Amino acid sequence: MKKTTLTVMSVLFTSLILFTFPAHSSSSIPSIIDSGNIVEQTCRQTPYYDLCVSTLRSNPRSHNANIEELAQIMVDELDSTATNTLRHIRQLLQSGMDQSTQEALRSCAERYRVIVRGDVPEAIEAISKGDYKYAEQGTFDAATEARSCERGFSRGRSPLSNQNRQVHDTSLVAAAIVKAMARGG
């Protein structure tokens, strides 16, 4: 009797699976499974896995996103972080710091204007057009600008170290995601 009940339950369970995922759409089973892991799979291809996962998971758009949408989310995060850094630089310039620091801040302001007005919009447009090499270059350029800003200060005296690191690392994550898109995922 127990064997019969177990057999009936097995048949019912198998039927449920087959009707839920019909034969003509059986290829959707892996994509459903994969969609739950796309953030992790994508972030494993980046230099800053934890930053990638936390940024993407904190954005509701990532829940059903494909890799192109994940790249867009990361570039949007880059834009937000760089814009906030530029605002912070403007505040620091008004706070009356020493001449050397002010010169470095002015240089950083110009670099961040390039990121916000040039690199990010170009990356967004390139992603939408499928020009992944150009999008990768734009995000990589943003990382270079942030690194150059940091190097413009006397050793250990940058008031922007955290922001520069965040923009740099976010840029490299975005570049890696775009590069993965170019390779096909």
Q: pTM above 0.85?
A: no
Structural domain includes residue 147: yes
Structural domain includes residue 17: no
What is the tens place of the pLDDT at every residue in 31-75? Answer: 333 545 899 999 999 999 999 999 999 999 999 999 999 999 999
Tokens 């896995």 locate to 49
Domain count, the chain: 1
- Residue 45: the pLDDT is 97
- Residue 155: the pLDDT is 73
Structural domain includes residue 168: yes
Domain that holds residue 98: 38-182
Structural domain includes residue 9: no
If the chain, 185 residues long, is cut into consecutive pieces of 10 residues, what is the mean pLDDT of each piece?
Answer: 44 37 35 63 98 97 96 98 98 92 97 99 97 97 98 88 98 98 83
Hey, CA dihedral for 83, 85, 86, 90, is it positive or negative?
positive
Structural domain includes residue 12: no
Residue 109's Cβ-side half-sphere holds a number of Cα atoms within 13 Å equal to: 14
CATH classification at residue 133: 1.20.140.40
Structural domain includes residue 87: yes
